[in-house]
Amino acid sequence: MSKIILVASGKGGAGKSTVSALLGQAFALKGHPTLVIELDSGLRSLDVALGVTENIVFDLGDIVRGSCDIRDAVIPCPFCEGLSLIAAAAKPAEISLDTLEKISSELAEDFKYIILDCPAGIGETLENAAKCAGLGIVVATPDPSSIRGARSTGALLASCGTPNRRLVIERCPQKAKNLAPIKNLDEIIDGAELQLLGVIWEDPMTRSAMDSGKALAFESPNYQTFRDLSERIRGKYIPLGFK
């Protein structure tokens, strides 16, 4: 049975797709086959990040309409063995719980992890993802509206029954003085009312990996960060270790 992990945020642009893509790569590199499903209908981006835009024949919309077999919409990532994508539906549509359950049961033997990259905000698709996920990762950047959005999202996940909910702080400046107006990371954790799973640094190499459809450079400060994040999810004790 695959473990289902959803990635959500209150505010758009917080870094959900980045976390989904790079966490997926970290799992796959460790030998755990992982499927990322982009639920953001009408607003695709992960096909670019995973370098599969030219390879899309069927997407999540085709699965919803029943116009392809589920497996036909699974696209392997060309630069990361063990990682695959189901691309977002081309047109806006809510994704039902029934669709998510059908996909996860059909692919239960193929993938150790299924990562659901959710649309921004709070809506039906997020609620359905929350009902089937075992872990909800809420992404927030260090800005007050993103933190407030993370708190509402965490509360929604709790009300939908997602058993484990954690915070990932994205695009964190590498110098603490650049956090302003936030004073420190505790302020983000307290504001989001979620336990911290990891901190991703603001980093041009991370942005470039997402924009170019290539693997994250080994030299990026986030390379090890995502490996640590994946190991923490697998239950290993990895100290948070930021200064």
Rounded CA separation 216/213 (Å) = 9
Choose between 15 and 82: whose C-beta lies nearer to Mg ion: 15
What is the closest distance, in whole angstroms, from the C-beta atom of residue 243 to Mg ion in the complex?
A: 29
Binders of Mg ion in range 61-100 (CB under 5 A): none
CB contact at 8 A, 35 and 145? no
Stretch that binds ligand ATP, among 8-16, 80-88, 97-105, 180-188 (CB under 6 A): 8-16
Grouping H, G, I as helix, E, B as strand and the rest as coil, residue 178 is helix
What is the closest distance, in whole angstroms, from the C-beta atom of residue 106 to ligand ATP in the complex?
A: 26
When asked if residue 153 is in the footprint of ligand ATP (CB under 6 A), the reply is no
Choose between 3 and 16: whose C-beta lies nearer to Mg ion: 16
Residue with the CB atom nearest Mg ion in the bound state: 17
Question: Applying CB under 6 A, which of residues 18, 99, 128, 162 lies at the interface with ligand ATP?
Answer: 18
Q: Using CB distances below 5 to 8 A depending on partner kind, what does residue 41 bind out of Mg ion, ligand ATP, none?
A: none
When asked if residue 17 is in the footprint of Mg ion (CB under 5 A), the reply is yes
Rounded CA separation 40/106 (Å) = 21
Half-sphere exposure of 113 toward its Cβ, with a 13 Å CA cutoff? 29
Under 8 Å CB-to-CB from 43, ≥6 apart: which residues? 88, 119
CB contact at 8 A, 19 and 7? yes
Stretch that binds ligand ATP, among 52-60, 85-93, 207-215, 232-240 (CB under 6 A): 207-215
Question: Applying CB under 6 A, which of residues 2, 10, 16, 104 lies at the interface with ligand ATP?
Answer: 16
Q: Which region, left, alpha or beta, applies to residue 149 given φ > 0 means left and ψ of -120 to 50 means alpha? A: alpha
Choose between 17 and 220: whose C-beta lies nearer to Mg ion: 17
CA angle 237, 216, 140 (to 5 degrees): 60
CB contact at 8 A, 139 and 59? no
Choose between 70 and 172: whose C-beta lies nearer to ligand ATP: 172
When asked if residue 202 is in the footprint of ligand ATP (CB under 6 A), the reply is yes
Choose between 36 and 74: whose C-beta lies nearer to Mg ion: 36
